[in-house]
Amino acid sequence: MRTFLPEWAEQEAVLMAFPTENTDWAYILEEAQLQYLRIIDALTKEGINVVVLCHDVEKTNDLIKGLRKEFISLIRIDYNDTWTRDYGPLTIVKDDCLRALDFGFNGWGLKFAADKDNLANLRMMENFIIPKAVYRNEREFVLEGGSVETDGEGTILTTSKCLCSPNRNGGLTKEKAESMLHQYLGASHVLFLDYGELEGDDTDSHIDTLARLAPENIILFTGCRDIDDPHFEELLKMRAQLTLFRNAEGEPFNLVELPLPLPIYDEEGNRLPATYANYLVTDKAIFIPTYNQPDNDLLAMQTIRIAFPDHKIVGVDCTTLIKQHGSLHCATMQLPKGLLNPIIFECNSGCQ
């Protein structure tokens, strides 16, 4: 039996990748590095270990000067870009043992170069970061971490536009996609959202931009109350479909609506896919992206507290992350307790 672990399971660390001149952040590199330092600082302040992939350990070590290095491990590995959510390992429990599943990553349906990202988990295994006994090569199946949500009890929430994309696995039917989720992740109950898309989204409607499963049968979802907003009709249809969803016991979900951030545009006037649904859950705290919109930022944090009343709520300014069409959840991947080789936390930022 396989169980796909939920994000709120006990964690070992959070995986990130640091911006360099060889990533898409090159045009605003200093600003991007400050953004990532801001996230790492927020995580380590809460006592959370952070594994940071980097191209140059010495340079990155200089940049994290002043942060809590006892919680940071720097790992020298090549990667194309910094969105570890989508190429980091997905973790299941099989026969009471953890398994780090390394799925295929092809740049969100062949949109961007991803040859190094696709090998990042393998490289971590080869460098003894992920133990060989835990690692499983499943790269014949393309699956991104931001495209699937689980309650840890067999239910997976996803979107048909992403999982049935022709440029990922040749265009799966819902039935075939569900079969694959059962085969790899042990899914027994799969819910496909057919509506919901944010302007500027490169991912083909990743679920972590739209709706998130939470404990106590809750789904937090992105709403839109402005009838003149281009998202209004699509998100209204999404909300209507969510009301029809049932959990594995046949019960309706408790729906909690998140605000939609005010529009944010790039320098060419294109709207960026800002969303509060792109938050990171740890066993200690919930880290929520903020966008320098005090009223909406506060409302989002108060709303997420409804689903996680026992967690500390931490806002993290993500106004730079959104410039590359991602946010806080996209830039991080939780690594459950026991997944990593313990030696990396003994190096205190010196591992390579």
Question: Is a pLDDT exceeding 50 seen at residue 190?
Answer: yes
Residue 284's pLDDT is what? 87
Q: Helices marked H in the chain — which ranges?
A: 29-45, 57-63, 84-87, 107-110, 120-126, 160-163, 166-169, 174-185, 232-244, 294-307
Residues 6+ positions from 258 with CB-CB distance below 8 Å: 220, 221, 222, 223, 275, 276, 277, 300, 303, 304
Of all residues in the chain, what percent carry a pLDDT higher than 90?
A: 96
Query: For all residues of the chain together, what is the average pLDDT?
Result: 96
Cβ of 5: how many Cβ atoms within 10 Å? 20
DSSP per-residue codes, 37-48: HHHHHHHHHTT-
The residue written with tokens 């729906």 in the block is: 255
Intra-chain end-to-end CA distance of the chain, in Å: 35
Question: Is a pLDDT exceeding 90 seen at residue 136?
Answer: yes
SS3 212: strand
In the structure, what pLDDT confidence band is assigned to residue 350 with cuts at 50, 70 and 90? Answer: very low
In the structure, what pLDDT confidence band is assigned to residue 349 with cuts at 50, 70 and 90? Answer: very low
SS3 180: helix
Question: Over the stretch 292-302, which tens digit does the pLDDT of each residue have?
Answer: 999 999 999 99
The residue written with tokens 């991803």 in the block is: 114
CA dihedral 1, 144, 9, 255 (to 10 degrees): -100
